[in-house]
């Protein structure tokens, strides 16, 4: 894995200082059902210079969940309640200074229409992640990207799923 730079970055993210961690935001890679996406793919999409990539300094997500339920850490973090500048990822404009972003591989059908394509193993892995980190961050709110942008991402109803897996109401973001 590439070494993370520990320097504060100037860029699109709001503010240049560390901020309290307030949200966990769930995303999909917006790729067709059953197609795997690698760490290298995400790094290229997000950080390659335009027009090949988005030209960002950092990827959009802290962790990604593969079809088999395994997890790749894209950006390291510690477990305190502060989003240090070196922990910041570019998942949702205006939210990055106070959020952690995670992503599952999939989210579209073969015609690139939004679809909840999570495998049972992805659901299980996401559930474990959400529960264990909510124990560490008992005050954060868990949301979908669609709460903060006019997008279908992550292609499932996050509030309903959180209820289903027994997440406390105070941790469920409702717009
Ligand atoms: Zn998203």
2 within some domain: no
Pick the more confident residue, 115 or 1: 115
| 106 Cα–ligand 1 center, Å | 11
How is residue 120 written in tokens? Answer: 């049972």
Is residue 11 domain-resident?
no
CATH for 29 = 3.40.80.10
Confirm whether 12 is domain-assigned: no
Domain-embedded: residue 13: no
**Centroid of ligand 1 to alpha carbon of 93 (angstroms):** 10
Ligand 1 centre from 145 Cα, in Å? 5
For 123-163, the pLDDT digits (tens) are 999 999 999 999 999 999 999 999 999 999 999 999 999 99
| Count of domains observed in the chain | 1
In the chain, % of residues over pLDDT 90? 88
Q: How far is CA 135 from the centre of its chain?
A: 18
- Cα–ligand 1 centroid distance for 95 (angstroms): 12
pTM of the model: 0.89
User: How many angstroms is it from 108 CA to the middle of ligand 1?
Assistant: 12
For 51, the token pair is 């027009």
For 42, the domain range is 19-171
Q: Is residue 5 part of a domain?
A: no
Residue 80 CB neighbours (<10 A): 13
pLDDT exceeding 70 applies to what percent of the chain? 91
pLDDT of residue 7: 47
Q: Is 9 domain-assigned?
A: no
Calculate ∠ Cα 2-7-132, nearest 5°.
Answer: 65
| Domain-embedded: residue 98 | yes
Confirm whether 99 is domain-assigned.
yes
Each residue's pLDDT tens digit, 102-121: 999 999 999 999 999 999 99
More confident residue, 17 or 88: 88
pLDDT of residue 11: 44
């Amino acid at each position: 894995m590439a070494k993370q730079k520990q320097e504060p970055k100037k860029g699109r993210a709001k503010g240049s200082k560390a901020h309290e961690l307030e949200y966990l935001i769930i995303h999909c890679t917006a790729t067709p059902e059953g197609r795997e996406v690698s760490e290298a793919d995400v790094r290229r999409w997000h950080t390659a210079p335009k027009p090949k990539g988005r030209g960002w300094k950092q990827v959009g997500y802290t962790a990604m969940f593969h079809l088999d339920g395994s997890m790749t850490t894209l950006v390291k973090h510690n477990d305190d309640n502060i989003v240090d500048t070196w922990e910041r990822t570019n998942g949702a404009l205006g939210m990055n200074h106070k959020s952690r972003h995670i992503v599952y591989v999939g989210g579209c059908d073969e015609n690139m229409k939004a679809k909840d394509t999570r495998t049972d193993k992805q659901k299980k892995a996401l559930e474990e992640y959400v529960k264990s980190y909510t124990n560490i961050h008992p005050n954060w709110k868990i949301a979908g990207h669609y709460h903060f942008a006019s997008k279908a991402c992550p292609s499932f109803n996050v509030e309903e799923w959180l209820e289903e897996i027994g997440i406390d109401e105070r941790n469920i973001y409702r717009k």
